[in-house]
A = this chain, B = another copy of it.
């Protein structure tokens, strides 16, 4: 069965280059054959998106919400058909499918609500004052969508951060057409979901071009998309090398565009000594579970643990090591990812980490989880120890004392998260450490593990480079929609010509900043 791309609502398979994805566990090629998008198909997807843009951006508040809700309905209806494809391609379990689907649905509902509420407009109104010198004009400002957005599917989240995941839902919610570059490792999952999105778009009367979906195994299609003048932003979740390449492409355009790449992070965990003494037993299991969770294939995987050397620590590490290394491992997302994982572990060993590896299943694509151990001095001197080993690997950094640990923080790269495990007194005493850390990360977790990223509005998923390319924004939660909008001001615009969110009467009761005060009230003169 040859599956083409979706160029707008239409299937299109004009190219001659084809490929297949494979089942993660045994590496056997699947029956679906995907046809790589040609350059012409890429251009057409961009042109359709551009044509759809103005109509899509001008839809009434409720329409885009309906579209997103309809996608969620279809995903629910088709989950039995989707699950086997998802599990086979990714090697992820049915339980993971359930939880990732639930997350995807929640995201769709949250963004539908956001779209309907108009809260993303950040409406701000300053009424005129003709008596001021010079006379103060009537100024009203709100956010509008920036235009077509290209989203690259993520290898590690075939649903929640791919075809209709966070980035795509956020862009669609605020009126940006989306072009998906499907991840080739789960092309069948992506294709299945794309067909549902197209169906939902047609059923809810969206303009053709609001969503396209293109396949490719190599870099050409992605490059052409990022370089097309109609594309106005890029969303990406993946490796540092991949994210940086897209970032560079986008910034070398005649008109540069923002790239929101969520890339490498090793999510350091700092365990303070008093805490460890009291809580050792409780936290072995908690940490080991976080380390094995998703087989270490989460962007928030705890890849670094800092401890202070003493007898309790030795005992704790012993327990952690035996717990973690004895866990049953499964297949990684793909054999190529497993190969890179093995390479990464080897590099750590070559650079001098003392390695402890699981003796578990040796079959083809099953990862053997590992712990490495180094001293603070090694960490400080060799930046290689900060590189992410994608998979179930954690590096323990043994520090002589808190000064030693603080020196490690000084050289630490940007991270998505940092976790501090400490007694209340210890943390209070280490306040300077917390302040230093907040300048290195996007999220600080107190007495918790970094995995498990809640999708609440107050989440921040994004950190200083190389964790993200633009840490003024995040990739999770409704605020992530702010990546795809920009403010426009209307000066002395007659009331009847103003966009709805800026009219005096405030039909949808959105919270607006009116003459400096946040209020959902209408403006009365």
Contacts and interface: CB of A to CB of B under 8 A. Distances in A.
B428 A459 contact: no
A278 interface: no
Interface in A443-465: 443-448, 452, 454, 456-460, 464-465
Interface stretch (A374-382, A390-398, A483-491): A483-491
Interface in A110-157: 124-126, 134, 136-137, 139-141, 144, 146-147
Given A125-B458, A126-B456, A465-B256, A439 B487 contact: no
Nearest to A491: B445
Q: Which of A255, A428, A460, A485 has the most CB of B within 10 A?
A: A460
A97 interface: no
A441 interface: yes
B458 A485 contact: no
Interface stretch (A26-34, A341-349, A469-477): A469-477
Contacts of A494: 424, 427, 446
Interface stretch (A204-212, A304-312, A430-438): A430-438
Contacts of A472: 146, 258, 482, 485-487
A314 to B, nearest CB: 28
Interface stretch (A164-172, A319-327, A354-362, A511-519): A511-519
B435 A488 contact: no
Contact of A137 (B251, B424, B434, B448): B448
Nearest to A432: B54
The oligomer's copy count stands at 2
Contacts of A487: 442, 460, 472, 474, 479
A136 B126 CA distance: 38
B140 A491 contact: no
A315 interface: no
Contact of A460 (B141, B431, B466): B141
A496 interface: yes
A355 B147 CA distance: 37
Contacts of A126: 454, 456-458
A457 B489 CA distance: 10
Contacts of A141: 457-460
A509 interface: no
A474 B487 CA distance: 8
Interface in A64-113: none
A454 B136 contact: yes
Contact of A491 (B427, B446, B493): B446
Given A124-B479, A139-B459, 18 more contacts: A54-B436, A54-B439, A137-B454, A139-B454, A247-B256, A248-B251, A251-B251, A258-B470, A424-B494, A424-B497, A428-B496, A443-B488, A444-B489, A445-B492, A446-B493, A448-B491, A472-B485, A472-B486
Given A438-B144, A486-B472, A457 B124 contact: yes
B457 A497 contact: no
> Interface residues of A: mostly helix, strand, loop or mixed?
mixed
A492 B147 CA distance: 37
10 contacts: A137-B448, A139-B458, A424-B494, A443-B488, A445-B492, A447-B492, A448-B492, A459-B489, A460-B487, A460-B488
Contacts of A438: 144, 488
A427 B460 CA distance: 42
A58 interface: yes
A55 B448 CA distance: 28
Nearest to A414: B255
A258 B470 CA distance: 8
Given A247-B256, A474-B487, A513 B457 contact: yes
A441 B490 CA distance: 11
Contacts of A489: 442-444, 458-460
Interface in A235-280: 247-248, 251, 255-256, 258
Contacts of A518: 511, 518
A462 B134 CA distance: 22
A439 to B, nearest CB: 7
Q: Which of A444, A466, A469, A485 has the most CB of B within 10 A?
A: A444
Contact of A435 (B58, B251, B470): B58
A231 to B, nearest CB: 13
A124 B458 contact: yes
A34 to B, nearest CB: 33
A446 B492 contact: yes
Q: Which of A456, A485, A490 has the most CB of B within 10 A?
A: A456
Nearest to A516: B457
A136 B454 CA distance: 7
A227 B459 CA distance: 31
Contacts of A488: 438, 441-444, 460
A431 B498 CA distance: 10
